[in-house]
Amino acid sequence: MSTPKSGGGVRIQQPQRRIGPAMSKKLEERMSKIRYKIVVLSGKGGVGKSFITSSLAMALALRNRRVGVADVDFHGPSIPRMLGVEDEVLGAVVDEKGETIIIPVENALGIKIVSIEFMLSDRTLPVAWRGAIKMKALQQFLEDVDWGPLDYLLFDAPPGTGDDALNIFQAAPIDAVIFVTLPSEVSSHVVAKSIRFVEMIKRDFNKDIKILGVIENMSYYVCDDGRIIKIFGEGGGERLAKALGVELLGKIPLDPRVSEANDRGEIFFVKYPDSPASKEFLKIADKIIKLVEEE
- pLDDT at site 35: 97
Average the pLDDT over 244-269 and give the result.
85
Q: State the pLDDT at residue 187.
A: 84
How far is it, in rounded angstroms, from Cα 213 to Cα 118?
31
pLDDT higher than threshold 50 for residue 7: no
What per-residue confidence (pLDDT) applies to 15? 38
Percent of the chain at pLDDT > 70 equals 92
Architecture of domain 40-293: 3-Layer(aba) Sandwich (3.40)
pLDDT surpasses 80 at 171? yes
Spans of all domains in the chain = 40-293
Least confident of 165-169, 185-189, 232-236, 262-266: 262-266
Distance of CA 17 to the CA centre of its chain: 23
pLDDT higher than 80, residue 13: no
For the chain, what percent of residues have pLDDT higher than 90?
45
pTM, two decimal places: 0.88
3-state secondary structure the chain: CCCCECCCCCECCCCCCCCCCCCCHHHHHHHHCEEEEEEEECCCCCCCHHHHHHHHHHHHHHCCCCEEEEECCCCCCCHHHHCCCCCCCCEEEECCCCCEEEECEECCCCCEEEEHHHHCCCCCCCCCCCHHHHHHHHHHHHHCECCCCEEEEEEECCCCCCHHHHHHHHHCCCCEEEEEECCCHHHHHHHHHHHHHHHHHHHHCCCCCEEEEEEECCCCEECCCCCEECCCCCCHHHHHHHHHCCCEEEECCCCHHHHHHHHCCCCHHHHCCCCHHHHHHHHHHHHHHHHHHCC
- Per-residue pLDDT band for 4 (boundaries 50, 70, 90) equals very low
* Distance in angstroms (rounded) separating the CA atoms of residues 9 and 253: 42
